[in-house]
Structure 1
């Protein structure tokens, strides 16, 4: 089982926090965080270039979860159970965090699922940190470890 977290953008000053979560997660799962950068935050027509980059990197059997404010919301226990089901059925789960302008429709069409971390809008950097925290919490739940701390 493998999890990739791809972000269209750079983590900048959030990178250190993300690295801490990646280190904690590595005892549970093979996980990578990949900063893909993005073409532009001012020109929506360049979203297509970002999309082509993402779609080219995906394998046919990858399960793509797009972070989207209109996606499915979970509480932590439900998210852990959903993650457990996915890990049993898939070789690689890719979580994609869009950039400041979102993602192209072609990426939305390819997504197997859309996940909402909050009804509030989050920056892509903060969304990555929240996602990593919830993934870590999920593995703690699935391993019957204390997850309130």
Structure 2
């Protein structure tokens, strides 16, 4: 099973964002192990002990559609990558890849929800399940 770790600056957010994160965490439980961790940007290096494959998620990352993102995650799993770390809105030059969910600036709680939705969508696509929900 694939293990996903999401590192972000702050997890405090309004209740509606927390509810969305809880819902996507529950949905993703059937496809992967997921952990969310809060980390200061200055402590990012220490938090990345055995990070696996790293994807930096930011406004300036690489844009791809849902199918391409699903293919990338599936390809990594097929290559034997069992752990993927997403670094949300923090500078980290050593990440193997980058991803942009949107060209507009989002606050971290909304960016987290958007990332979880895209990860969930990618698992649905990979498993041949409908994903427009």
How many residue pairs get aligned? The number is 129
1:60 Cα offset (Å):
4.5
1:130 Cα offset (Å):
0.3
Q: Does 1:5 align with 2:6?
A: yes
Give the alignment's Cα RMSD to 1 decimal: 1.5
Could you say which structure has the higher helix fraction? 1
Q: Which residue number corresponds to residue 62 of structure 1?
A: 52
Structure 2 distance, partners of 1:7, 1:29, is 19
Q: Runs in 1 of length 4+ with deviation above 3 angstroms? A: none
Q: Which structure has the larger Rg over C-alpha atoms?
A: 1
Structure 2 distance, partners of 1:10, 1:114, is 21
Structure 1 unaligned spans of 5+? 39-49
Structure 1 distance, partners of 2:95, 2:64, is 18
Structure 2 unaligned spans of 5+? none
Q: Equivalent residue of 2:54, what SS?
A: strand
Q: Which residue number corresponds to residue 105 of structure 2?
A: 121
Residues 1:61 and 1:34: Cα distance change in structure 2 (over 3 Å): closer
Q: Equivalent residue of 1:12, what SS?
A: coil
Equivalent position to 2:88, from 97, 101, 108: 97
Q: Equivalent residue of 1:70, what SS?
A: coil
CA contact (8 A) 1:11 1:35 kept: no
Deviation string, structure 1 residues 4-54 (Cα, Å, up to 9, x no partner): 111111242122210110000010111111223x4xxxxxxxxxxx23x22
